[in-house]
Structure 1
């Protein structure tokens, strides 16, 4: 389908404009009919004229001219696919028609020059014009020499006017073909560019969708892994206390309290999953209740949940937390993942310490446990740590997870802090912010601009 006839919607969802004019749309939509019309436009008069001339004065020259005209007319059907071959046949007819007792037959050559300019290139059309000029001049020179030697009957039209006429029509054919060909190639380039942009748009949409799916998968892992780990631990402890509650009511009450906490944790996880998966549903009510993502302020509730599950957690927070919501969510998820792994794999731990240091330009989050046996290498899929590395990497940071030198396991995240720009009017030229401590386990005494909170 040509550029002028493109009226349908492209695969990229791009609807191209319809070309103006009913005639142009018809010609563009029926290229074979146009080729048949062009071939018949030349072939019918030529064949009829040759047949009439052969009937009046049958000679071998008339028969040869009839055959060449029929071949050239049939070749015009392939002017779009093979314009060079059509030009070669037309050039043979142009050169031999002089010596067949007729004037120069230039019509097939004109169609061939036009087809070269439109369907090949402008350069090939001008090269073909040079060949046409050479054939025309050389043929007419030979014709004049033979006519002067009385060996050939001269043409009805003189050689010089015939040559000028042929070359003039040839130039016009090349110029018209160049104009149409340039416009055609320009439109094709615009259409190709539009299709490329449409494909790039679709690819960007797919990339964005994949990134969103990855983000949702990380959130789902954090929610499900944390909640189920706490629920399983509480359920196991409740079962053990229930077995020992035959004659003592206190373990029975503790068991019931643990099961109530299991139910609350499950309901909270279910609500988080419904809210998170709501973005994946199309056509449903978008006015559902929305809650903000957890941040540093919710870490206390998170710690209490793990303490209720039997994990001996202590937390120390130094400095002012960043204002960026995304960074606060990252800090929350790092603490959540570290404590979840400790609850799952460090059952023998006697102390789990969470240290969060908010420096002037760096945030350091460390979760340590002292469990002698930490079989995390043989359990789990590792996707939680992979997701955390991606979260931390968004802020130019790193995440390390591995054994501690003195025993136990450590999860440590370090990344750049995003701070809101302070107004110039409130800035103090003499105020100094203390540097972040090099060891999170032994934080220095904070300056007045920071706060230290330790929850035993």
Structure 2
């Protein structure tokens, strides 16, 4: 089975192909340099052939093997090798150094290219100054000892360095621009992958909260109904049957909610409804479920239903979790009051007047409280839960600006 190639793999393959294509060019340049130098050595009568040939090979090796990865080292090899090479052919040495300056301009910092070019220009001036006084005994006679020969050599050398420098600067700028675009593309790709992972993590956390709320609410109600039915099945079989019927209704409702959560996972991103709302009627039905299992609950709703479906569901889930905690963690009978106020802000208050089990009198009552706080944080809100000072347990949700 062939896996699809990622963007980074394609870029790496393209880079490898570019390297493969440029290697023959490097070898061709080096061979041209060797042939030119050997020809110059062969026609020169001022030196032995062997020593210049060795210098030529050193320069060629530097140009081929180091001009991309170590351009400054390539320049150093060329520069040191062409110092004695200048004794029999100064122009050929200048060509080698000029090519190294070009490589530095393309593959290294521009300031280093200017520094190397300045150093090379100084050597050219030194050769030009020393040649007319015959201090360099191997100086090519073609250079001459007259002023015209010196000027021609200096101008030629400076032109070679200038052309190499400017051409290299232009090529280097273009290369750095393209490399910058590729790096930015890779950065954006990595950033996109991170955003996708964060979105997947957030969605997974949202689904986990939904599943927890559905399961905790449904099982708590079912357990209470089952216990009640078991307690009265012999004395009051009719009430036991009603409780069992309610168990079926709660289970079917939970199954429907679970199917809705799963449908989000199976839907396409374009058609998935990630945040289904909850109306006032849904709150009333929720309260009726808890009344049916013996928890006296009062519901007060002030203002209009929030426009955002996500805010509606947050209110619904917080009320559901708070009432589930009332059912699970308080001694019966316990009176619970739910107040939902919608103005500019959405404020939900759930107060439980029953006595809470000692082990639950804590600000850390498990995943349910964490989930409620996470829901509140999604809309910039806050959620507090704890004793109210008079023996009551108070859950308060505030969503600033969510009702506007």
TM-score relative to the length of structure 1: 0.76
Q: Is the 8 A contact 2:342 2:403 kept in 1?
A: no
Task: Tell me which residue corresponds to 1:432.
Answer: none
Stretches of structure 1 that go unaligned for 5 or more consecutive residues are 1-7, 20-24, 421-456
Report the count of equivalent residues.
Answer: 393
Does the alignment pair 1:262 with 2:247?
Answer: yes
Matched position secondary structure for 2:141: coil
Aligned-pair CA distance for 1:419:
4.1
SS of the residue aligned with 2:97?
helix
- Aligned residue for 1:186? 177
Partner of 2:381: 397
Aligned match of 1:415 in 385, 399, 402? 399
Q: CA deviation at 1:410?
A: 2.2
Using the alignment, how far apart are the partners of 1:282 and 1:47 within structure 2?
A: 73
Match of 2:312?
Answer: 328
Distance in 2, matches of 1:228 and 1:92, equals 85
Distance 1:345 1:14, change over 3 A: farther
Instruction: Name 1:169's counterpart in structure 2.
Output: 160
Quickly say closer, same or farther: Cα 1:412–1:240, change in 2 above 3 A: same
State how far apart, in whole Å, the 1-side matches of 2:114 and 2:222 are.
Answer: 83
Structure 1 segment 45-444 matched on structure 2, within 5 A: 45-47=36-38, 50=41, 52=42, 61-77=48-64, 78-100=66-88, 105-146=93-134, 155-157=141-143, 158-242=149-233, 245=234, 248=235, 251-281=236-266, 292-359=276-343, 361-371=345-355, 373=357, 375-377=359-361, 382-416=366-400, 418-419=402-403
- Identify if the C-alpha distance between structure 1 residues 320 and 119 changes in structure 2 by more than 3 Å, giving closer, same or farther: closer
CA root-mean-square deviation = 3.4
Question: Which residue of structure 2 lines up, in the alignment, with residue 3 of structure 1?
Answer: none
- 1:212–1:160: structure 2 CA closer, same or farther, 3 Å change rule? same
What residue is the counterpart of 2:146 in the other structure? Answer: none
The runs of 5 or more residues in structure 2 that have no matched partner are 144-148
Is the Cα–Cα contact under 8 Å of residues 220 and 328 in structure 2 kept in the other structure?
yes
Instruction: Write the distance in 2 (CA, Å) between the matches of 1:172 and 1:342.
Output: 85
How far the C-alpha of 1:46 sits from its partner, in A, is: 2.3
Conservation of the 8 A alpha-carbon contact between 2:40 and 2:89: no
Alpha-carbon offset, residue 262 of structure 1 = 0.5
